[in-house]
Every structure is written in structure tokens, then in C-alpha cells.
Structure 1
Amino acid sequence: MDNFFEKVWEVACQIPVGRVTSYGAIGRYLGATRSARMVGWAMSNSRASKVNVPAHRVVNASGLLTGKHHFSGSNVMQELLESEGVRVEDNQVVDFEVVFWDPVKELGIH
């Protein structure tokens, strides 16, 4: 996969149900530190992927649902996370450190 977006989507597809990661964590895993914004662009364009990318599982470094405006309704991202058992209050993942999935730790060195 030569396309950065496709690499991002591939990582996002590995996030387990009930867990979240951050834009920056995906960027670090791909060796593109400081590319959180580019990862965000990839998530906002994930509908272009050939597979169903769980973009709702990617949040900002503080656990905020900063990408929620890219979903079809104002609470869709939150509803998807809550349907997987992730608690969200005031657009922020509750117990973020507990449900955080770090691709560097979970998938090893890329």
C-alpha cells in the first residue's frame, strides 16, 4: 500500500470493538510523527475506502470526538462508540486511558 490514507485505514480497521485510538497514535505507528492532521483527513475521507473503516474509533489525543461533524448526524459518532460500550460525556471519551488502544504497543514496530 503506497497511499498514506490506505495505510491509515488499515490501522484503523485493527482497532478492537470497544477501544479507541488517536490521530497522533496512528501517525506515530506509521512513522509519520506530527501527522495527526493528515490522519484526520484520512478518517474524514474513509468512505472512499473499499472496506468499512471504523472511523468513529479515532479521536483526538485528549479523547475528544473532534471528528464527529464528519458523520451523518450530530451524535452518530457518540452513538457508535456507546453501542460498543465506550462511554462518552460532553463529546469526550470517559476513562480514555483505559479504552485507549496504542497501535505501536499492540501491533509492534511498523
Structure 2
Amino acid sequence: MYTLPEVRAYAARSDPDAHGAFEDRAWSLEPGDRYTISGCDEAHHVVAASRHRYDSRVDLVVYLPGEDRIADARVHGGRLLGIQRPFAAGTATVLPAPQREG
């Protein structure tokens, strides 16, 4: 499970210059992406994404830096978003794997 301090630290390390920006549908969101949605200027950091085969929505766990909280979000899969994704050149940090409580 991700904790608020872990996600907050990841968001703080995210370099805006180490991300490629493009527009795509919500279906393409992956953990580590940042996205903006029309009507909201704040970038949401994707912690986890779940796509159900027969559902038209994408369930997300996102970090909202302006509110300093982790929240659940549900976005229609066909919704057009402004997405920033870390480059694959190894220069960008990646979200750590969730730790299981044992």
C-alpha cells in the first residue's frame, strides 16, 4: 500500500522537464503519470490505475498536491486528458512498488 509520505516525496522529486506531454484518453493512464482534466488546473499524480474489461470507466488512486491527500477517482475511459509521462531514458523516477503488510 502507498502511504502519503511516499507519494508526497515522489511528487516532489518529479522533474517537470523529465516528462513528455501529450493528450490522450484516460484509458492510457499509467502509474507515475500526471494528468490534468478540463476545469481543473492542478495536476493529479497517478498512483494506481485499474481498468475493467467491460466497464467504460478507469478507477484511479491519485495524489492531489494542492490538497496534500490521496484520493480515489473514476474517469470515463474516453475522456481526453492532458498527460505528462516520465521519459523512459532512465532519468525519471518511478513510483516504488507497493509494500505488502505481512
Tell me the TM-score normalised to structure 1 length.
Answer: 0.29
Q: Which has the higher strand share?
A: 2
Given the two structures, how large is their TM-score scaled by the length of structure 2? 0.30
In proportion to residue count, which structure has more helix? Answer: 1
